[in-house]
Structure 1
């Protein structure tokens, strides 16, 4: 490292170090004045973040319980359940068994729809059985049924417990405490799964505890958790009835815990999260002096040494940024110089080498793309479909045999135009009018072949677009694809439509058919191939056309595929209009 005091020979790092040493002597003492304020702010942010984290999981649990309760209420109106509860004696064995099977499937679907449901069952006194996801079992005993009616009809609790299980229930009809219900629904929630969800909230030595405000039930992250139990009791002893959320400190004799709580009105429950104080704020206590001191130090150093920074870094960087912008705009001849013998001189030298190398590589890539485009065009021109050739000559034979000399003349004229265009390889780009005329000759040949099977609507090319310069063979391969894969197997009512349209700055050629063989999966597969830039996949047909249009016009040209309103495939050939013009 060069520590020569000559400014022109001094590197950037010594410049910054000397500046920092001069400016940082009084800064450390000044940083101590704001430590307490900074620590309080960070502590408040950590507390707010923890509360938000707790509230998020409680809202998620409320949403899940609400969804289960809604599905439970929807089950009350199930037709099969109503029939079994009211008309069992009048039903045949087949009707009864069918209804039972449907109810079992409905309960199984309810169980599978939620991670928190362990079992779901319906008690139907008239049926004499309980229907569950395990099919049939004996009716609830009197004590269990009375317990369910008491919890549901009198207290209307969302969740309740029988001492071992966490349950949700519903009776039908509701609000009839003096009579037995026609049927009752009981859903058992999975305490292990709720416990697993609670474990996702805590971190480190934290503990989570969910309990009923009526002291009916409780679920802890661990089956035996004295810390969470102490936090719950501490919470209940405090006067927190008016608060929906908050936090407080708890000392259990061994450690000091920060206890966060959040109440849920819909569940009539509270979730409590206790975590040792040092787990949250320990790192803050250790690093707060260094954190705030270095932050203020950095700001003041930047302000006091701005002259050096501007002279040593900002101006050379700005020069390099301008050079990159010129390079981005396509100026590959940009070169930059630097008068100081420091790191920027090395960067400038490497930048100049990079532009020279980039210019050479772009030229090589451009030439390679041009060669590839011409090779693909020659490949497409050489791929004369033998079936098309055989069928055309066979059609010519039939027309001559029936002495239809007029159509013989038309067909031979179209064939000569077709093969004259195909075999002409001297030009890579042609006028759009020539391409459309070639495609029209191809369509005329196919229409003579399939005149009883399909009708073709070939719109007129707008006169202003006839002189557009486009790659050869971009329309005929698309038409050939429509005939081969969309219309060839239609015995009647086939329809092909070719339209031209100018939209904004694009000229579009739309080819649509009413073929029935293109499936949604096949359409997605074709779109995927068009989007891929993989030189290894086949380059014939519409993919060949798409690639050559992209090579010619970039992202402004190419093909797009969609489902036609006719029912078959729609291919849109996009050509930049004003650019090409």
Structure 2
């Protein structure tokens, strides 16, 4: 039996349309998943950046607590004094004054307190009303204050004080009779997250404990119950979908804190993320119907109006898959394929925008790393300096005491004010001069320090604390011969490079034993920077900052001076005062 022409045409068309429909449907699902994946990666990177800042605040506060419990002479005086002694009241008053300043400085600290377990005494400094906070701590931490056992975990503990969840950590003092504790308010800790919440109206941010209790954010009990189901998801998915009370599906991304048993999460409205794709989906569903309704008219024009556009679309997908996100399809004459082309171009534009967002997040992370590098350098001789002052007091060397304290104040004032990206070269030299004067008080007549700074270079901008690590290394490793004075020379000059550009050269020369051959090889090849250790952290820090600020234009070299001793040379591009446009290598990428 002969088949009708309509059937002969319809069957091949159906056989052609069905794979086309499946292909486009798969393309739509694939593009949706790509968008969700890219948005999830971008949100996860943003969340990790903000959570890193939150964890850094907790880490700094924990260090403050450890330093307070172990190094406070006022705590020792309070522990050893009776309630009837003058030292007792003097130590309490000074402790309260000191902690008042500390609470004002550390923005996340709610209260700092000390509890005397033998006398059941509690004194504190707080942002809250004193007596109300004191009663709240006694009530909320009663079992923890009276026990002699401390938590084995180093993480911050979540407790309820005054009806509010707070983070709590306590340490005993040296005597073992006092318990020094800090309360961190969840609200103040979560303030950086408000930047996330304000960035988009379709984002919701919250903080929950590992047990699923809501610590910060506005969510109903039903919404919180759905969120708990994804907190400890054992799968490897970077995100999940959660439906909230507004009957919207949200993309759920969460990150755990390193220093507390809590999770920070962000919910993104999927409808707003994929607002362009539903139209694409509806168009794909109607393509087979439109083809079947116009089968007779399209039969002759099938090759020109269907197959060629499909081939262009497939070629565009392959081009897009190879990473050419700037590729766009040309619109054809067919309305249906014109819509497909428009949606394809929109999809390519969205994916390109998402990739740019990911790059921007990486740039933000590198900027945060730069700030972290600038904050890594800390003084290593603080305790030795205080010990020298202590002995000078015993010897009643008033003039030396004044001189020593003056240099210490100038030295640490400089360290605490290095939040600027650039400082004048004269400021760095002045800081090193204070550092050397402190050592000259420690070792009179055994250290000689010379510096030469031309007037035209005094205001030349450099990153702060760029030279000090090498002076410290010279003092630490070169000051070994006690038979003759140890000499350090610090000089700055201008030199023309091979390309004709004028560079600033800073040299640190000492009269010590110099570098060994193995040391010179490892230092000049950058081996210590690829595998940094505590002993070479300063060198690693300087190289990282030079790479960020000046890329390949700045160099660092080590060699032995022919007259004896080690020589370190820093060559930097010479900038005019106020010219900081290239503060990071990121700006040139």
TM-score range, shorter chain: 0.3 to 0.5
User: Which of structures 1 and 2 has the bigger CA Rg?
Assistant: 1
TM-score, normalized by length of structure 2? Answer: 0.38
